[in-house]
Structure 1
C-alpha cells in the first residue's frame, strides 16, 4: 500500500501509510472508526513537559472507553529539538510512560514533508498559513478519517476534551 500521489485528492487519512518507530509500514486504515489526535512531537521542546503527561492522561482516560487513538510523529524541524535516532526517541517516550503510538521521525513542513502531514495541513490550514509553526501542533481526526480541528502548540491536550466529545 502506498500514499496517494496527490494528497489533495485523498478522501481520508485511511489512504495513507506511515512507518512505525521500527520502520515497519502501518496503514492508517487500522484506525478506522476511531477518533484520533495527530501530533508532531519533540523530546527537547519545552512543551514536552506538559504535553506528554497530558496526552498519556487522555489516552488512559479515553483510549479504551471511547476508542481514542493518539498518533505521535517526532519531528526535528523546529530548533533541532528532536535530534535523536528513532531508538533514542523510543527510549525517551518509554521514560515518559507513553502508551500511545509513536512513529518514525518525519518532516511536517517543506517539499519533503510526509504526505499525511501535507494532507492534514491541506484539510485544516492554520491562521497564518498551512505550515506547522512549532512542535506539538495537534489535529483531531473524526471516526470517518476526516481532519476536523487543528490546535496550536500552546493548546493543552486536556483542553481538547470538549472538542473530542463532539466526535465520539
Structure 2
C-alpha cells in the first residue's frame, strides 16, 4: 500500500457515486475525518474559511464523515451533508461516511496513515485529524484533531507557492 498512488484511490460522494482522487490531481488537498456532533465540529467553519481563502489557487478540503469515535456521526450521508451545509456553512466536498480505523477502514486512510503515521502511532485517535496532500500526490503532513485549521494556513501557502513555481 505504501507505493500506491493517492490518485488511484476511489472515494464515494454522499450519493454513493464513486470516483478516483485523480479528480483532484494538481490541487493541494486537505483530508479531514469529520463528525458533526464532535467537540471539534466547529472546526468545519474554519475549514470552510480555508477553502474559501485558497480554492481559487488550487486548494480543496475533503470531508470524510466517520463514526469511529463515540458515535459522534450518526445519520445517513444525506443527513450529514444537510447538517454540514446548514449548521456549519460547508461548501467543500462532503463524501460518504467511512471508517478510518480497523478492519473496515477506508483505503485512503490506510494510505494516509502509512505515509504520515503521527506522533502517537498510526491509528487515527479522534475526529478532525488532518492530512495535507501536495499537488504531486505526496502526503506531506498530519495534524492532530485539536490543531486549529487556521493555524495550518502557512503550510497551505507554502505548498501552493511551491506547486506554482
TM-score range, shorter-chain basis? over 0.9
Runs of 5+ consecutive residues of structure 1 not aligned to the other structure: 1-6
Which of 109, 113, 116 is residue 108 of structure 2 equivalent to?
116
Of 2, 16, 29, which aligns to 1:8? Answer: 2
Q: Which runs of 4+ in 1 moved over 3 A?
A: none
Shift of 1:83: 1.1
- Aligned residues between the structures: 159
CA distance in 1, matches of 2:11, 2:49: 24
- Equivalent position of 1:58 in the other structure: 50
Normalized against structure 2, the TM-score is what?
Answer: 0.94
Consecutive unaligned residues of structure 2, counting only runs of 5 or more, are: 161-165
**CA-atom RMSD, angstroms?**
0.8
1:31-57, Cα deviation, whole Å (9 max, x unpaired): 1100010000000001012x1110111
In the aligned structure 1, how far is the partner of 2:123 from the partner of 2:53?
A: 31
The residue aligned with 2:16 is: 23
Q: How far off its partner does 1:104 sit?
A: 0.3
- Inter-partner Cα distance in structure 2 for 1:20 and 1:107: 14
